[in-house]
Amino acid sequence: MPYIYIEKVLTELKPQLLSAMHAAVEREVRSGQKVDVNRLYRAFVRGAYGQCSNPVRVSDKCIEDGSARPSRGKAAAGNS
């Protein structure tokens, strides 16, 4: 089984994760509440780094060679 470094993955995906966190905060937080999304993201990343500070073993299902991207959604559900 291959190993991954969570820190490297989170760093690589920072723009996408930050965008998703912004969307989640807008959707889930009641109007009028103030949330610093960047501060929340930093706290999340620090927590993730603490939980997975060493390389983590992952199954081969988590790794792709880049040649074919799996389909998602309703079409994929019918193909299983």
What confidence category does residue 80 fall into, taking pLDDT thresholds of 50, 70 and 90? Answer: very low
8-state DSSP, 20: H
* Token pair belonging to 28: 């889930």
For the segment 23-41, what is each residue's pLDDT rounded down to a tens digit?
Answer: 888 888 877 788 888 888 8
CA dihedral 28, 30, 32, 36 (to 10 degrees): -30
> Do 48 and 10 contact (CB within 8 A), yes or no?
yes
What is the reported pTM? Answer: 0.59
Report how far residue 18's alpha carbon sits from residue 12's, in angstroms, rounded to the nearest whole number.
11
Alpha helix ranges (H) inside 29-63: 37-51
For the segment 1-25, what is each residue's pLDDT rounded down to a tens digit?
Answer: 788 888 888 888 888 988 888 888 8
Parse the chain into domains and list their residue ranges: 3-64
For the segment 42-75, what is each residue's pLDDT rounded down to a tens digit?
Answer: 888 888 888 777 887 888 877 777 665 556 655 5
